[in-house]
Amino acid sequence: MEPENINIDVAIVQQLLKSQFPQWKDLPVRPVSQSGWDNRTFHLGKEMLVRMPSAEEYAFQVEKEQHWLPKLAPSLPLQIPVPIAMGEPGEGYPWKWSIYRWLEGEAAARANIGDLKEFAASLADFLITLHGIDSTNGPKPGPHNFYRGGDLSTYDAETRQAMDVLKGKINVGLTTEIWERAIATNWHYDPVWIHGDVSVGNLLVKEGRLKAVIDFGQLGVGDPACDLAIAWTFFKGESREIFRKKLALDYDTWARGRAWTLWKALIIAAGITDSNAAEAAEPLHIIDEVITDHRQER
């Protein structure tokens, strides 16, 4: 959560610009419509955005992105954010922050994608390329990316607790089977670059096609299984099969991908109270998708 004494709003962005980047101090600043949880994001004029960590645990990501995204961007087949400036703490705001070039597009949704099979293939091609870039000296899984790309057992206790909370709402036997099957395996190859949060909100569509991948806060090097969750959160049928075949990863990696998906859906569903039961529909649906897919793979 944000510290109680920090209100990350237009006023503080304007103050920081005035003191640190006076060349842009007169440009209009306005919040983006969907800012996200980890960062507060603002339009800066017509061609830039300001991205400000919302809490200390997300502040580690700023310098990582500043260092690595410009190195990765030239090798990738789609646009990614490339920082153009890094701000320092000031005006009561305690962390470093970034200014990026604005990327055009809308968050991916079935309604704005022209061909879901082509979209799945394009995303798979992006991930194949990302995973293939030299990962020497890349940031290993840790607090900076909440251990994405690391060992699933990091979340073992949390996952089992969520299963216990959801007894009567999910098939605990099968979810336990999926989880235990996955945590018994490991990535036995060299670490690869991972995005860490491949979700529809981080995929930009323009004119019906995938144009950009954004929000690299979970960037790191390790096991690519965490990049597979969209296979069950968004794809299904032919689009899921295309995504899977193009990536051509081994069975164990897909098993861990299911488990990463399961972990996230379980903790979200378990955290929803009965008074907000309607909000649980989506994570429970994702859990069902994972279970169905697992049954087909048995």
Residue range 168-192, pLDDT digits in tens: 999 999 999 999 999 999 999 999 9
Mean pLDDT on 244-267: 97
% of the chain residues with pLDDT over 90:
92
Q: How far apart are CA 32 and CA 40, in angstroms?
A: 8
Residue type, 231: A
Specify the CATH number for 107-297; select among 1.10.150.450, 3.40.50.300, 3.90.1200.10, 3.40.50.720: 3.90.1200.10
pTM of the model: 0.94
Inform me whether the pLDDT recorded for 4 exceeds 50. no
Domain segments of the chain: what residues? 10-103, 107-297
Q: Quote the pLDDT of residue 221.
A: 98
pLDDT band for position 5 (50/70/90)?
low
Longest dimension (CA), the chain: 61
Three-state DSSP string of 56-124: HHHHHHHHHHHHHHHHHHHHCCCECCCEEEEECCECCECCCEEEEECCCCEECCHHHCCCHHHHHHHHH
Average pLDDT, the chain: 95
Residue type, 99: I
Fold entry, domain 10-103:
Phosphorylase Kinase; domain 1 (3.30.200)
CA-nearest of 149, 131, 143 to 226 is 149
